[in-house]
Structure formats: structure tokens, C-alpha cells
Amino acid sequence: MRNPLIAGNWKMNLSCQQGTDLVTSINAAMQETEVEVAVCCSSILLGCIGKAVENTGIKLGAQNMHWEEAGAFTGEISADMLLEAKVDYVIVGHSERRHIFGETDEMVNKKVVKALSKKITPIMCIGETLDEREAEETFSVLKRQLEEGIKGISPEEAKTMVIAYEPVWAIGTGKTATPEQANEAIGYIRSELEKLYGNPVSEEIRILYGGSVKPDNATEIMNCEEIDGALVGGASLKADDFIGIIQF
């Protein structure tokens, strides 16, 4: 059985103190949840939030990483730097990175490969835009982003990674995919993984849903058969909301 994961994506928000307070509140609610919980903070907060999550069950995640080992890449953060900060997860290929910062499938793939080689678990995000959904291209977009993103990854590595289905039109818009839409897309992703890696492997890979997850829709999303958790943006910034989600 796949162990569900609920990860908060704080994006470019919160100070060290605000993040620490949030972690303290989440930790106090951890006994009442069976799911794995992670918080993905900005790079500069990793040291601070890393301390805050020490001796809690809460995992630490980063939001981005460069694929090169080290060198002249001004402004970038390497996998070893994330390891030094004791990161468990790194979000890769979030739609904001793809659309605002021009990340391509090829760049996403290099990051996924690097993270896995360093034993940092990538949460690889894929998802269609509204135009693509309306043009009935959802499955072809997901197939391309998936296949390109995991190129060259062995079945053993693939088993350990996390994929997040995040329809771009549902991110930060308050428009959630219906549980049926999310379940269908995630079922499709798993069927493609099965074609690539075979059944035991595809059954082990966790696939999350992300896009306007809130306490009042978390239960129906989490209860969908294909959905193994959630990547939560806006609602991960407020203790009550995030706790409501992890205790769905």
C-alpha cells in the first residue's frame, strides 16, 4: 500500500519566525494524522525550517534545485547543498517554474535524474493548461511531460519518486479539479507508468493531486482511489487550513 503524502508548497512566502510557528502548530496536530507530512520552503529558509522540523515527524522539502554538481551557476542551489540542509524532498518542474522561469521538460528531467542520484525524493509536477484541457489535449500533455521528465530513470529509482498532477488552471485560482477529473488524470498517469515500468513498479509510485486543495475539499480528494496525497499551495500557509487538510 502506498503511504499518502501531503506536502505544503510555501512558494515565496513566510519568514523564519512565521515558518517556525507554522511548523510548531502542524507538529501539535501530527498525532491525529496517519499521512506523511512535508513542508517545502524557500531555499533561504531551509536551515531555519530544518531546525524547526527536527524531532517532529514533519519532512523538509525544497522548491527547486539545479542539475549540475557545482560551478558557475549564479543564484542556483545544488543537490549537495540541499543534502546539507537535510532535505527529504524537492519539488521539480512546478508549473510556475515552467511558465514563469522557462523550465523545459529536458531541464525537469535533468533535475529529476540528479535528485534521484543523490537520494533526494523529487516531487515532479505535471499538468495541462486550461487551453490544453479545452482542446482535449490533457492526456497527450501529461504523457509528454511524464515521459520526458522520467527519461533514463531506472525502475528502482522510479519507485521512490513522487509525481504531482497539478492542472495549471486549478493552481491558486480557487478552481479545483473535480475528484473525478483528478482521479481520471492520475489513473491515466499510473497506466502510462505501468506501460513504462510494469505493474509492481507503477503501483508503488505515489501520485499526488495539487490545485486549490482546501480543508473543505480535502476529504473527497484524498478518498479518491488513485490519489495518494496532495501538494498544497495557498492553504499550506495557514495552520488551521493545513491542519484541516492533513486531518482530512
Contact criterion met (CB below 8 Å) for 89 and 123 = yes
How remote is the C-alpha of 174 from its chain's centroid?
A: 18
Is 166 among the catalytic positions? Answer: yes
What stretches of 12-160 adopt beta strand conformation (E)? 36-40, 59-62, 89-92, 121-126
Residue 172, interface with ligand PGA (CB under 6 A)?
A: yes
At 97, list the grid cell: 517554474
C-beta nearest to ligand PGA: residue = 233
Residue 5, interface with ligand PGA (CB under 6 A)?
A: no
Residue 61, interface with ligand PGA (CB under 6 A)?
A: no
Residue 122, interface with ligand PGA (CB under 6 A)?
A: no
Residues of this chain, 184-213, that bind ligand PGA according to CB under 6 A: 210-213
Among 231, 243, 245, 246, binds ligand PGA (CB under 6 A): 231
Residue closer to ligand PGA, measured from CB, 62 or 202 = 62
Give Cβ neighbours of residue 153 (< 8 Å, ≥ 6 apart): 112, 113, 116, 161
Alpha-carbon span 221 to 245, nearest angstrom: 10
Q: Which of 36, 128, 166, 226 is the catalytic position?
A: 166
Residue 9, interface with ligand PGA (CB under 6 A)?
A: yes
Q: Which of 36, 94, 128, 132 is the catalytic position?
A: 94
Contact criterion met (CB below 8 Å) for 188 and 139 = yes
Is 68 among the catalytic positions? Answer: no
Catalytic residue ranges: 94, 166
